[in-house]
Chain A
Amino acid sequence: MILLLAMAALHAQVTYDDLLKADPKNWLHYSGQYHSQRHSLLKQIDTGNIKTLSAAWIYHIEGARRLESVPIVVDGVMYVSQPNEVHALDARTGRLIWDWHRQPALQRGPNRGVAVYGNKVYFGTPDAHLISLDARNGSLLWEAKLAEASDGYWCPVAPLVIQGKVIIGIAPGDHGLNGFLDAYDAETGERLWRWNAIPRPGEPGNETWAGDSWKTGGGDTWLTGSFDPELNLIYWGIGNPAPDFDGDVRKGDNLYTESVVALDAGSGRMKWYFQMTPWDVHDWDAVEVPVLVDAFFRGQQRKLLVQANRNGFYYVLDRTNGKFLHGTPFVKMLNWASGLTPEGRPMRVPGVIPSFQGTKTCPATSGATNWMSPAYNPDTGWFYVVAQEGCGINTKSRDTFRPGGFPYMGTGYVESPDEPWQMYVRALDLTTGKLQWEYKQIGSRRYGAGLLSTAGGLIFAGDDQGLLTALDARSGKALWHFNTGKQITASPMTYMVKEKQYVALTAGANVVAFALPR
């Protein structure tokens, strides 16, 4: 009995208060904190000692190929996932505590991570379920079906736990499957609300879909959003309309695809939306992590929401009401719009739409940025983003929706042969979007690796060649790097155990952790 009590005492439960405060020793959310700034207050590792940062341990996940999971750390325990699997590790040593494997395992990927609350770990599965495991031994507590996997739905999303509710989205919109955002009771798995990303007949916004095109409109919710506890609003980016490249069959703005929406956390009702790309025909999902910052904007203290969007523009919104405050390109290669109107609507360049022969489109469909996380450093006041400069050749053809999980894309894109794609890390002024510095990731052309900012004055950035690099947050100068050996397609995070700070990330099939030598 004494042993049992001692065991229970060893394992701290994660409370809502913990999730709100997000002690920097832990990494409790996909994006670190509810505001998704991905800025850690840990500063044991700093610009002065970064040169001595060394690999502390490597944990290999058998069968993994391209992990996209961001590890979650609670009081020295790391939870990391790949599709159908959760691994709990000793965050100091990388030693396995338990692992859980879903059987039968439907093979669809990736998985971007877990969420924690109480004594539970939550994660989504390739067969479109939300799973709850006991955080101490990995035993299955409950599972909730999000959607029919046989329809083609699956879940790569790291959940977000708010006030005892597990918030989770769904994929894929590219198959003409309509997206939604769900809230489940964290204790029981009972569904508390669902918000449908594509409005039905009679609901506002349905008129933005020609005919019955709303039925197969897409609009998935495949990347974790943010939360403002004061406003009690969840902010979530919505994916592309379907068919992706053929807009002829879905004339209209196609709400709420390519939008950021603000939902009441209690009821799931939408308070506002802002659509970045009305009638998108380039597959520019607006799912990129919305970052919440309270800052002075043109002399006035405001609650801002900023997003670097896949369409090439950086947006500054008032997150209380969704009002557009400012927008500017953060990539040079942008040919589809000449700018934004005072309301933030793109001024489209005629003819830059997919065609049968192919239309040069910049940014490429892979986007000016994508799921790789941005970061905001309150010390510099700058927003940091991974940007891809490049163009695609976008083609179109008439597609037919087929139930059962078939792509409903209306064709696709290839890389434009004129100039190779190139990846950059860029620092933008938060409120103006003005470029402060850029770091060219030489030899890196493919996206996927995100950023971490720390109070040590560092920006950690991965790249497609497997390098994890630490940059000086003020100058953009590379101060340290490590070759993890495989393309990085996830974002780094940091935590502290027994007064030692670690930086960790998934890279290829491995979890790699770094710390200063003793």
Chain B
Amino acid sequence: MRLILMFSLLTSLPALAQLPSRRRAQPPPRMEDAVPGREIYNRNCTICHGIDGAAGDRAPALGAQRRYLRRTEGDLHEAIKNGIGGTLMPSSPLPDSDIRKIIAYIRSLRATAIDVAVAGNQRNGEAIFYGKGACLDCHRIRGRGGLAGPDLSDIGVERKLEDIRVALTTEKPAPSRGYQPVRLTTSDGRTIEGVIKNENNFSLQILGVDQKLHLLLRDEIQELAYEGNALMPSDFDKKLSKEEFQDLLAFLSRQARRRAQ
């Protein structure tokens, strides 16, 4: 049985390799199609996929921060038109013109910051990142900077431009998991400030502002206060000039040690 399976896998490999080239070439998506594409997508695809590219109950997010199996127009067209074998993804009766609009919309959802043209002066943005913006206090790029916030060395390929803009300008309803600010006093009188990397009813794992890990049991803590707000400031569009803000965006959007495959 195993032999047969291996044989069938081996024989199917060349066929797999040829698959994309056998697909009919599709005209490139027109970005202006993304607007009507969104409407068609939300009407037809959200039975399984989530609304506006979010994850659904039965199918993945098509616009989330992840690596995609189907990247080319041909792949996407094939999947929508004929379904995906072995999965719940069905074939679609939609006309090709509508499918192209859906593809344009999916592509617009997926583009990370580095894939999008961003106005602004990157060099100035870099100076702001390391200087006036004080981003380095919490974030690091290529080994330089603080630890309290996420490493931004690959932010250009990890996040969409809009997500970066929102993170710089909009207050979060609550700190994200792993970044909850905390201030506590231990039973032996030490004061620790930092972010909670993990916690349960019995222990806490804290990364301190002293850049050290503090691993504590709850009964070793005398007093503990959770900060309601995230450490990340949300007023960069106010404390920077319009040009400076755009320059910072331009700098961040180009941060990538690697390009997504």
Chain B residues positioned under 8 Å from A412 (CB to CB): 46, 50, 56-58
Chain A residues positioned under 8 Å from B48 (CB to CB): 407, 409
B residues adjacent to A (C-beta < 8 A): 42-43, 46-48, 50-51, 54-58, 88, 90, 173-174, 177, 198-202
A residues adjacent to B (C-beta < 8 A): 356-358, 395, 397, 399, 402, 406-407, 409-414, 417-420, 440-444, 463, 465, 467, 469, 478, 481
A411 touches B51 (CB 8 A): yes
Report the nearest A residue to B172, measured CB to CB: A417
Provided the pairs A397-B42, A414-B55 are in contact, do residues A481 and B201 lie with their beta carbons within 8 angstroms? yes
A397 touches B43 (CB 8 A): yes
- Bound state CA distance, A267 and B173, in angstroms? 55
Given contacts A358-B51, A411-B56, 20 further A-B pairs with CB under 8 A are A395-B50, A397-B42, A397-B47, A407-B88, A409-B58, A410-B47, A411-B46, A412-B50, A412-B56, A412-B57, A414-B55, A417-B173, A419-B173, A419-B174, A420-B177, A440-B201, A442-B199, A443-B200, A478-B201, A481-B201
Chain B residues positioned under 8 Å from A418 (CB to CB): 173
B201 touches A442 (CB 8 A): yes
Question: Which residue of B42, B54, B55, B199 contacts A443 across the interface (Cβ within 8 Å)?
Answer: B199
Chain B residues positioned under 8 Å from A413 (CB to CB): 57
A397 touches B55 (CB 8 A): no
- Bound state CA distance, A443 and B205, in angstroms? 12
B42 touches A356 (CB 8 A): yes
Chain B residues positioned under 8 Å from A440 (CB to CB): 201
Chain A residues positioned under 8 Å from B46 (CB to CB): 395, 397, 411-412
Chain A residues positioned under 8 Å from B47 (CB to CB): 397, 399, 407, 409-411
- Bound state CA distance, A478 and B203, in angstroms? 13
- Bound state CA distance, A411 and B43, in angstroms? 10
Give the one of B43, B56, B174, B198 with max A CB within 10 A.
Answer: B56
B174 touches A467 (CB 8 A): no
Report the nearest B residue to A397, measured CB to CB: B46
B57 touches A409 (CB 8 A): yes
Which secondary structure dominates where chain A touches chain B?
Answer: loop
Chain A min CB distance to B32 (Å):
23
- Bound state CA distance, A465 and B173, in angstroms? 24
Report the nearest A residue to B88, measured CB to CB: A406
- Bound state CA distance, A358 and B201, in angstroms? 34
Provided the pairs A409-B57, A414-B54, A420-B174 are in contact, do residues A465 and B200 lie with their beta carbons within 8 angstroms? yes
Give the one of B46, B54, B55, B199 with max A CB within 10 A.
Answer: B46
Report the nearest B residue to A440, measured CB to CB: B201
Question: Which residue of A406, A414, A443, A467 contacts B50 across the interface (Cβ within 8 Å)?
Answer: A414
Give the one of B57, B173, B177 with max A CB within 10 A.
Answer: B57
- Bound state CA distance, A478 and B201, in angstroms? 9
Chain B residues positioned under 8 Å from A417 (CB to CB): 173
A-B interface, 3 closest residue pairs, ranked by CB to CB distance from nearest: A412-B57, A443-B200, A407-B58
Chain B min CB distance to A433 (Å):
25
Report the nearest B residue to A407, measured CB to CB: B58
- Bound state CA distance, A358 and B46, in angstroms? 12
Chain A min CB distance to B174 (Å):
6
Chain A residues positioned under 8 Å from B88 (CB to CB): 406-407
Give the one of B43, B173, B200 with max A CB within 10 A.
Answer: B200
Report the nearest A residue to B50, measured CB to CB: A414
A402 touches B57 (CB 8 A): no
- Bound state CA distance, A347 and B173, in angstroms? 30
Chain A residues positioned under 8 Å from B55 (CB to CB): 414
A444 touches B174 (CB 8 A): no
> Can you list 20 A-B pairs with a CB-CB distance of less than 8 A?
A356-B42, A357-B51, A397-B43, A397-B47, A409-B58, A410-B47, A411-B47, A411-B51, A412-B58, A414-B54, A418-B173, A420-B174, A420-B177, A441-B200, A441-B201, A467-B201, A467-B202, A478-B201, A478-B202, A481-B202
Chain B residues positioned under 8 Å from A395 (CB to CB): 46, 50-51
Report the nearest B residue to A464, measured CB to CB: B200
